[in-house]
Structure formats: C-alpha cells, structure tokens
Amino acid sequence: MFLSIRLTTPRFIRGWVFALFIGLSFSSMSLRADPWSTTGKVLAVAGCVGSCAMWYYLITNYLGKTQNLVQPTNDEPTRYTFKNIIGKIPQEVLNIRDFLINPQPFKDIGAELPKGIILAGPPGTGKTSIAKALAGEINARFFAVSGTDLHSKWISEGAKNVKKLFDQAREAVSNGECDKAVIFIDEIEAIGSKRRPDNAIFDNALSELLQQLDGFYSDDSVFLIGATNKVDFLDDALLRGCRVDQVITIGLPDTESRKAILEYYAQPKRFSDDVQFDVLATMSEGLSGADLKAIINNAALRAVGEKNTMIMQHHVIKELQPFLDRLEKRKTQEA
Ligand SMILES: Nc1ncnc2c1ncn2[C@@H]1O[C@H](COP(=O)(O)OP(=O)(O)OP(=O)(O)O)[C@@H](O)[C@H]1O
Ligand SMILES: [Mg+2]
C-alpha cells in the first residue's frame, strides 16, 4: 500500500492575506484619519479584520491546526516489489527485508534491526523505487514524503511535521491498519543537513527526527528510509552509529543492467526485430534507469509521430542522443 503525503495548506494565500491586512492596519494607524470619516471607518474595519487575521494566522500556525498539514492519500493499492527493480538490489537492503519478514535468525545471533537506512546516489537510479519495493516486499504501509515538504520556514512547524509523520506511521500500526510501516523521506537533506549555528529552522526539524529515531527502541514495526543525492550534506548526528548509520549507495546501472532495464521497459511496447538492446546499452553509458525508461517512452512517441506502427532502432537512438549530449555537457562543466 502506498501513501503519499503532501502539505495541502495554501500557505502563500494565507501569507498574502495576512500581509494585506497588516499593511492596511498600519496605514490606518499612520494616516490617523478622522475615525468618523468614511476613510477612517474603512481603515478602522480593515485594522480590526487585520488584527483578527493576524491572530488567526499565528494561532493556526503555532497551535493544533498544523496537525493537519501532513495528509496521507492512499493512491496506489497495487503491490510494487523487488521484481519491479531491474539490476542488483544491495545486500544491505535484502538483509533489512529478510529481518522484517523473519527476524528470528537475526535475533538468534543477537542482531538488532537498524532504525533506518539512507539510500544515496545520483538522480533516477531507483532510490525511491527501491524504498517503495521494500515496503511492498514486507507488505508494509508506505508513508512517503519529501524532506522539502516537511521543512518549513516556521521554526516549530518543521518539527511538528516530522512528529506528525512518525505519529501517523505508529498509529497506523497500533490501530491495526497495517502490521508494519515504512517511512520514506525523499531528499532527506532538506531536514537532515549539517547543522549551522545560524539556522535554527533546520535544527528543529532535525532534532525532532533524531528524537523520533531514539524513541524507536525495540519497535521493529516502523522503519525509516531516507534518500538523497547529497549524502555529504547530512548531519553527523543523523548518521552516527545506532541511528541511521547505514548509507547504501545506489549507483548508475552497468551495461548488463542497462540492457535489462531497456528490455524491461520495452516489454509492453511494440518493437521491431531490428532493435539491438545490447548496442543501445553500450551506447547509453552514464545514464540512469529513469533516463532509460524515458528514452524508451520517447522513442514510442516518436515512432507514432512518424507514422510507424513499431519502434525501430533509429527512433531509440534519436531519443538517446539528447540524454548523451546533456551528460557530455555536464561532464565538461564539472571538468
Ligand atoms: N533499476 C531500475 N529498475 C527499474 N526501474 C528503474 C530503475 N531505476 C530507475 N527506474 C525507474 O526510473 C524512474 C525514477 O526512479 P526513482 O524515482 O526511483 O529514482 P530516484 O533515484 O529516486 O531519483 P531521484 O534521486 O531523482 O529522486 C522510476 O519510474 C523507476 O521505476
Ligand atoms: Mg527519488
């Protein structure tokens, strides 16, 4: 079961309304208009509404209303597992899967389940997919959220969002809605970056995350997976032993995996016999699984656009080229 979690509050609208009324209240004060004149009355009303808006805004931000900011939506009931991931699944991830399915052999030897893992690697290499597939393998509910959604410009709100996320996962287990829950925080660096003396906002959300992790103790029913492209940015406190100390690198696919990924995404599509996936796999060195998936789809669009009933080798090569050009450009910029 897949739950994606979004922040639904139209914060920018609240912000503008707030700013407008505060502006009007100040102008009312600064103009010192005759209170009985029309301008005076309008400004006085605006000032009252402005104050109410300000109090409403502050109260809803700092008291219970933020509880509703993180909302799960159940949008994917189909089971997604490691069968959907092409290429090698890291042994550490397989160990976690095995531990969560059958903990006895691990417990017999005295092992404890880590509180979570970090999947690190370039964009599009399948980090989110692996996390989702792990949840599918162990039949857990998947609580997926982006670190940028948890993060907030308000000091207390980021921490509240983190707490709410963990509470939701624990409640789902304790209410019997599911046996296990996987919390997935994509772009975890948005809340888990190295702490800086001048940034209390990040600190607060990160401190809450650390507290939540420390509160896990022997609770093996909730497991955290973080994903990042910027592992070097993560705070040492998050990565310290007995918290989320296993950083598992999900690298770009090798030639064999690229061929398998191309073939996997080609499977439901109509391809001409002239397509040589091994040649395409060799040509696509440096591209991610996501790139390869997109290339196959773009080739299908191109084939139909050119009035063909099958996808041919040249369609794929045409679509491969812009990806290779971008890769080349990136390499030159980095050099
Ligand atoms: N090894 C793979 N096997 C099958 N599909 C893959 C693989 N790698 C990537 N994909 C596909 O590419 C798309 C993007 O993958 P995913 O979102 O998991 O990447 P990511 O590593 O999380 O990227 P980002 O760092 O940008 O968040 C998905 O549709 C996924 O199915
Ligand atoms: Mg991702």
Task: Tell me if 278 sits within 8 A of 150, measured CB to CB.
Answer: no
Task: Tell me if 259 sits within 8 A of 217, measured CB to CB.
Answer: no
pLDDT number for residue 328: 93
Q: Which residues pair with 4 in a beta bridge?
A: 73, 144
- Positive or negative: CA dihedral 89, 94, 95, 96: positive
Cβ of residue 226 lying under 6 Å from some atom of ligand 1:
no
Model confidence at 186, pLDDT cuts 50, 70, 90, reads: very high
Q: Which two tokens stand for residue 73?
A: 């939506």
Mean pLDDT of the chain: 83
Q: Which residues pair with 182 in a beta bridge?
A: 142, 223
pLDDT number for residue 204: 83
Q: Please return the burial class of 49, using the count of CB atoms within 10 Å of its CB with bins 0-12, 13-18 and 19+.
A: middle
Q: How distant is the alpha carbon of residue 50 from its chain centre?
A: 36
Of ligand 1's atoms, which has the minimum distance to the CA of residue 257?
Answer: 1
Model confidence at 21, pLDDT cuts 50, 70, 90, reads: low
Out of 18-32, 39-53, 57-71, pick the least confident: 57-71
- Strands (DSSP E) contained in 67-125 are 70-76, 116-120
Task: Tell me if 18 sits within 8 A of 54, measured CB to CB.
Answer: yes
Q: End-to-end distance of the chain based on CA atoms, in angstroms? A: 44
Model confidence at 27, pLDDT cuts 50, 70, 90, reads: low
pLDDT greater at residue 216 or residue 158: 158
Ligand 1 pocket test target in 84, 125, 231, 264 with most atoms within 8 Å of CB: 125
The residue whose C-alpha atom lies closest to atom 26 belonging to ligand 1 is: 123
Ligand 1 pocket test target in 264, 293, 323 with most atoms within 8 Å of CB: 293
Model confidence at 157, pLDDT cuts 50, 70, 90, reads: confident
Average pLDDT over residues 80-108: 95
Q: In 10 A of CB 206, how many CB atoms?
A: 25
Position 273 pLDDT exceeds 60: yes
pLDDT number for residue 61: 56
Coil, strand or helix at 72? strand
pLDDT number for residue 4: 45
Please report, for residues 271, 310, 312, the alpha-carbon distance to residue 304 in angstroms, rounded to integers and kept in the order given: 12, 8, 11
Phi, psi of 311 (to 5 degrees): -85, 130
Task: Tell me if 267 sits within 8 A of 297, measured CB to CB.
Answer: no
pLDDT greater at residue 34 or residue 132: 132
pLDDT number for residue 335: 77
**pLDDT tens by residue, 92-103:** 999 999 999 999
Model confidence at 65, pLDDT cuts 50, 70, 90, reads: very low
Task: Tell me if 103 sits within 8 A of 266, measured CB to CB.
Answer: no
CA of 239 to the centre of ligand 1 (A): 24
**pLDDT tens by residue, 3-14:** 444 444 445 555
Of ligand 1's atoms, which has the minimum distance to the CA of residue 250?
Answer: 21
Please report, for residues 24, 88, 97, 211, 231, the alpha-carbon distance to residue 235 in angstroms, rounded to integers and kept in the order given: 43, 28, 26, 14, 9
pLDDT greater at residue 63 or residue 90: 90
pLDDT number for residue 94: 97
